[in-house]
Amino acid sequence: MIITVLFENHAGFKKGLLGAHGFSVLVQHNGKKILVDTGSDGRVLLHNMEALNVSPEEVEALFLTHGHYDHTGGLKEFLDARKSSIDVYAHPDIFLRRVALKPRRREIGIPFSQEYLERLGANFILREESTKIFEGMYTSGEIERTTWDRAVGYLVKGKKLVKDPIRDDMALILDIGSSMVIVTGCGHSGILNIAMHAKSTFYKPIFALVGGLHLRGAKRHILEDVVKGFKDFGIKKLYPGHCTGIDEYAYLKAEIGSVEALHVGKVMKM
């Protein structure tokens, strides 16, 4: 299995790659290729794909971890660049209208309607339950919150705003034989909840966690929980990026050791 980072907050060490706020990775497993999220800017996504010799047409399915702009903003350009339609797996709530209030009120949901994206070739498969995409590649399904989560923002309900639980936050589960790899977008469900859900759903140990953990600004006890959980679960590798936070990454690196930061162009083989 190979995971290649196409979109991340930080550009890598290969000349010509671009970094921008958001997340996207290409997953190659069992002869199939899945794109996880599309970052916030389609021009940046396509630029990095071309620089890394990845054609939009070779992607065989798309998985959206949740309905925030920094994971879905590249959808239009990605779909425009293809000659064929593509199945898009996600939770039914991804198109809910979302806003943030800090540092100012702004829209933070998917910047396109479902109907518009369908006209561009997206075939949405929206399910709350875990769904098989290809052999060894599954959506996690909706994740139960048994401990703290990292939900942010608000839902627009008529003229009212209600706190957004981000029920649509899901992860990609990759079965690699004796263990599994989990790919998160932002980890709004809480990384410990995600790990617990994966183990209770797929009954295998976790080899690695890859993606955003949404720990930026987290209190010390949450970081301590992550470290303890990582060790209790017996996870071998942690690849945090995007919304994890620089100081928080440094803490995890110091406490765990087997931690590598994500950047555009990074390739992970497992």
The pLDDT value recorded for residue 151 is 95
Three-state DSSP class for residue 64: coil
The pLDDT value recorded for residue 257 is 87
The pLDDT value recorded for residue 13 is 81
Distance, first Cα to last Cα, the chain: 5
The number of C-alpha atoms within 13 Å of 152 and in the hemisphere containing its C-beta is: 20
CA distance 20 to 8: 6
- Indicate the pairing of strand 206-212 with strand 237-241: parallel
Question: What would the pLDDT profile of 30-66 be if each residue is shown by its tens digit?
Answer: 999 999 999 999 999 999 999 999 999 999 999 999 9
Q: Which helix or strand (DSSP H or E) is residue 125 part of?
A: strand 122-126
One digit per residue, pLDDT tens: the chain, 270 residues?
999 999 999 998 888 999 999 999 999 999 999 999 999 999 999 999 999 999 999 999 999 999 999 999 999 999 999 999 999 999 999 999 999 999 999 999 999 999 999 999 999 999 999 999 999 999 999 999 999 999 999 999 999 999 999 999 999 999 999 999 999 999 999 999 999 999 999 999 999 999 999 999 999 999 999 999 999 999 999 999 999 999 999 999 999 989 999 999 999 999
The pLDDT value recorded for residue 183 is 98
CA distance 201 to 186: 20
The pLDDT value recorded for residue 14 is 82
The pLDDT value recorded for residue 106 is 95
The pLDDT value recorded for residue 12 is 82
Q: Which of 137, 197, 123 is nearest to 167 (CA)?
A: 197
Could you give the maximum distance between any two Cα atoms of the chain, in Å? 50
Task: Determine the length of the chain.
Answer: 270
